């Protein structure tokens, strides 16, 4: 769903950002300064990062909050007439923060990651 949104926005305006904007300036180091497993509460996480994009539960009952931010820009081939019909693409970065809470609403563990994203579209990329 996120990729579809980014592709549509990227093809129209050349650039798209989707997800939790609170992650925009965050890095693995800055998040590790803010979140301390066994100490940081659910209310504190919500105060720092806002509401999560997705909430789920493990089989053992731990609550999982997921935050994502993707920033995608159209690559040069997307602006070339005719070529973009056959082989357009967009690229950028995706940040993801996943936080696990125990039964007392305290952070059990978390993971912050940043990765490169490449979205290909066009007739040759089917």
The residue range of the domain holding 118 is 2-125
Q: What pTM, to 2 d.p., does this model score?
A: 0.71
| In the block, residue with structure tokens 């919500």 | 46
| 9 has pLDDT over 50 | no
Strand partners, 109: 100
Q: What are phi and psi of 115, to 5 degrees?
A: -140, 160
Q: What are phi and psi of 52, to 5 degrees?
A: -70, 155
Confidence of residue 118 (pLDDT cuts 50, 70, 90): confident
| 12 has pLDDT over 50 | no
Query: For the chain, what is the domain count?
Result: 1
The three-class DSSP label of residue 54 is strand
What are 68's two structure tokens? 């994502």
Q: What is the pLDDT of residues 22-78, one digit of tens each?
A: 998 999 999 999 999 999 999 999 999 999 999 999 999 999 999 999 887 776 656
What are 96's two structure tokens? 């993801």
Provide the 10 A C-beta neighbour count for residue 38.
9
DSSP assignment letter at 45:
H
């Amino acid at each position: 769903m996120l990729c579809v949104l980014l592709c549509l926005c990227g093809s129209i305006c050349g650039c798209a950002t989707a997800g939790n904007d609170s992650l925009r300036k965050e890095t693995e180091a800055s998040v590790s300064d803010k979140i301390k497993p066994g100490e940081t509460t659910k209310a504190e996480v919500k105060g720092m990062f806002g509401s999560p994009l997705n909430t789920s539960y493990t089989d053992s009952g731990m609550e999982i909050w997921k935050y994502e931010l993707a920033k995608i820009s159209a690559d040069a081939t997307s602006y070339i007439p005719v070529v973009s019909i056959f082989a357009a693409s967009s690229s950028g970065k995706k940040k993801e923060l996943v936080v696990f809470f125990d039964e007392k609403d305290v952070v059990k563990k978390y993971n912050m990651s940043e990765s490169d994203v490449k979205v290909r579209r066009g007739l040759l990329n089917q």
